[in-house]
Amino acid sequence: MSTKQKILIADDDANIAELISLYLEKEGFETRKADNGRQALEILKSYAADLIILDIMMPEMDGYEVCRTVRKDSAVPIIMLTAKGETFDKVLGLELGADDYMVKPFDTKELVARVKAVLRRSAAPERGNDKKISYPDLIINLSNYSVTFRDRDIEMPPKELELLHFLASHPNQVFTREQLLNQIWGYEYYGDTRTVDVHIKRIREKLDQGEDNGSWSIKTVWGVGYKFEVK
């Protein structure tokens, strides 16, 4: 049985997909290729990918939609490829749950390095002291990526859950947006810190809190960042 890590490459440019495949296989990875979004999702039904390289602009279904669909039930690492360098594209990809992105044209060796880095992070011991953290009315469990709030199961994409878990793992410690980007997404996003604000806003909405929730709250530290405050 093969012990190679499996990479799914979804890109409608056959030359780019083949080039990425060759470099990854040279580094000991197993690869599969899809030339559109629907085919990628079909392959994933029977192919247990350890990581997905996902082009944004594809026929049938674009990378954003594929990412959104995958994130409904999987935390598999995703690196997005985009020919566009606008901040909006980067932030949207991160908001949907991508782990990293690269702008075309890119150096294939750098992409391989990014793949290895993302896989290392996903296999590393979880951040914080425990996979399961409990506070009054709140249980965050990274073992099965679940959040329970006031005895209700709350749906959260992986990055929202990881952000909440990280903050809750370090009660009363203030983190800048840049620190949170590095810690959760594991890569410098050149000042695109709006994605942190968006994730915090969504977490607060799902936990029915603006700033305060009795014994704990996610506090904005103006001019700095955020903290999980425990009273």
Range of the domain at 190: 132-230
Q: 0.75 cut: is pTM over it?
A: no
The single residue listed with the structure tokens 């990412």 is 67
> Both 115 and 141 in a single domain?
no
Number of H helices, E strands in the chain: 8, 12
Closest CA to 28 of 6, 56, 49, 61: 6
Q: Which of 123, 146, 172 corresponds to the end of one domain?
A: 123
Q: pLDDT value at position 52? A: 96
Confidence grade of residue 211 (pLDDT, cut at 50, 70, 90): very low
Alpha carbon distance 23, 59 (integer Å): 25
In this predicted structure, the answer to whether residue 124 has a pLDDT above a threshold of 60 is: no
> Both 119 and 10 in a single domain?
yes
Alpha carbon distance 204, 37 (integer Å): 32
Residue pair 84/101 in contact by the 8 Å Cβ criterion:
no
In this predicted model, what pLDDT tens digit does every residue of 133-166 receive, in sequence order?
A: 888 889 999 888 889 998 889 988 888 898 999 9
> Both 119 and 148 in a single domain?
no
> Both 114 and 14 in a single domain?
yes
Give percent above pLDDT 90 in the chain: 37
In this predicted structure, the answer to whether residue 192 has a pLDDT above a threshold of 90 is: no
**DSSP single-letter state for residue 170:** S
Confidence grade of residue 128 (pLDDT, cut at 50, 70, 90): very low
Alpha carbon distance 73, 203 (integer Å): 18
Q: What is the CATH number of the domain that holds 22?
A: 3.40.50.2300
| Selected residue with higher pLDDT from 206 and 94 | 206
- Angle value at C-alpha 60, between 55 and 62, nearest 5 degrees: 35
> Both 139 and 116 in a single domain?
no
Q: Which of 123, 145, 178 corresponds to the end of one domain?
A: 123
Alpha carbon distance 81, 84 (integer Å): 9
> Both 54 and 80 in a single domain?
yes
* The total number of structural domains that make up the chain: 2
Closest CA to 198 of 42, 81, 61, 90: 90
> Both 169 and 118 in a single domain?
no
Tell me the sheet residues that pair with 101.
Answer: 80
Q: Is residue 1 part of a domain?
A: no
> Both 33 and 136 in a single domain?
no
Q: What average pLDDT is seen over the chain? A: 85
Q: Is residue 169 part of a domain?
A: yes
